[in-house]
Amino acid sequence: MENILLLAHTEADGTLAKPALESLAAALALGGKVTVGLVGGETAAAANQIAGSGAVRFLAVTGEAFAQARYATDAAAAEALAKTSGAAIVLAPATSRWSRALPGVALRLGGRVDTHATSLAITNGVPAVTRWFYRQRMEAVLTRSQRPWIVLLDSGCVPTWTGPAGAAQAEAVAVEAPTRTTVTGTREPKAGEQTIRPDAKLLFVAGAGWTKKQADGAVHGADAESLILGFLRASKASLGGSKSLVDMGGEGEAVLRCMTHLNQIGQTGSTPRHDKGLSTCCHGEEPHVVGWRFITQRRAINLDANCGWARGKADVLYVADAFAVMRRVNELMELRA
């Protein structure tokens, strides 16, 4: 088996997050010699965190310039680590930071890159990547002869590496990375609260029904928002939305202020990976449900017994008023808290 470099950047607290530990597990499972390449403001804690992984070598690009996500510095660090390791295969988690920097690094190294991989494993004796095409409708298995081969592994596809921490001494790799880019701050989407939580066990989807006239002939937008936010705060679920709902918000209508286009699930939205999903006031049309491909258990609440979810798309459909159901669920969760 060829040599492998696992690239990982540290988080604000200096440790490695779940996506990095998933990629580490995938790298180790290939069976070759694994070198770990760390990038960050501080890297010692991260090296110690995975000291017991069996990696043969630890390399680190450390310093204030590498604490911040920035193309110029991240690409320079990754290039230096790839050259120092001499690895034929470079595996990295598909974080926004690496997804931005590594395609350019592949060009600099004269290699190739594959993004959105869902696995990298030995198939017919050679390393092969799996990834989905056409909005998750077809799965392909790819091999490449070019090296170095950089692979960005999507999060949620591989169990995380777990093992003993210890003391690992990383070799420092010096990188000159002059940059004219200074990060002056971050601007967040208009939602006042972080509602997208890729690591949550549950995906809670709100559809346009929350903004429609209800049985009493009135719209209950404020009620809808407080029920949804109350549930999210108690359950720590991630919030998704149907296209109809997020489009209304984009037009400036006073709908759910916690919802932006970033929450949209579906063909023209995202395809998240959560163990469970609960759809509320959402019809369950095909362009929406295609975004549920990787949700293992699907449930929906809809007043309409003939909605899209009823046609084999949900494991359980509650034919009920989502306002009433979520109010009761929130009460029960409050009692348990």
Ligand X SMILES: Cc1cc2nc3c(=O)[nH]c(=O)nc-3n(C[C@H](O)[C@H](O)[C@H](O)COP(=O)(O)OP(=O)(O)OC[C@H]3O[C@@H](n4cnc5c(N)ncnc54)[C@H](O)[C@@H]3O)c2cc1C
Which stretches of the chain bind ligand X, using CB under 6 A? 207-209, 212, 214, 242-245, 264-269, 281-283, 285, 287-288, 291, 301-304, 307, 321-323
Nearer to ligand X, 127 or 269 (CB): 269
Beta bridge partners of 282: none
Contacts of 249 (CB under 8 A, 6+ apart): 255, 256, 257, 259, 260, 261
Query: In angstroms, what is the minimal distance from the CB of 288 to ligand X?
Result: 3
How many Å apart are CA 29 and CA 114, to the nearest integer?
A: 19
What residues pair up with 149 in beta bridges, in sequence order?
89, 112
How far apart are alpha carbons 231 and 123 in whole angstroms?
A: 43
Instruction: Provide the minimum distance between the beta carbon of 214 and ligand X in the complex, in angstroms, as a whole number.
Output: 6
Residue number, 4 or 206, with CB nearest to ligand X:
206
Around Cβ 199, how many Cβ atoms within 10 Å?
13
Q: Where in the chain does DSSP place strands (E)?
A: 4-9, 34-40, 57-62, 89-93, 112-117, 119-123, 126-133, 138-142, 149-153, 171-172, 202-206, 238-241, 276-280, 297-302, 316-319
Q: Alpha-carbon distance 170 to 58, whole Å?
A: 5
Minimum Å gap between C-beta 36 and ligand X is: 37
Q: Which is nearer to ligand X, 88 or 196 (CB)?
A: 196
Pick the closer one to ligand X by CB: 127 or 291.
Answer: 291
Q: Least Å distance between CB 286 and ligand X?
A: 7
Question: Nearest distance from residue 153's CB to ligand X, in Å?
Answer: 24
Nearer Cβ to ligand X, position 57 or 220? 220
CA distance 160 to 131: 19
The closest alpha carbon to 121, from 141, 97, 98, 146, belongs to 141
Residue 144 or residue 220: which is nearer to ligand X going by CB? 220
CA distance 50 to 52: 5
Residue 99 or 214 with smaller CB distance to ligand X: 214
CB of 125 to ligand X, least distance (A): 39
Cα–Cα distance measured from residue 26 to residue 20, given in angstroms and rounded to the nearest whole number: 10
Q: What is the closest distance, in whole angstroms, from the C-beta atom of residue 142 to ligand X in the complex? A: 26
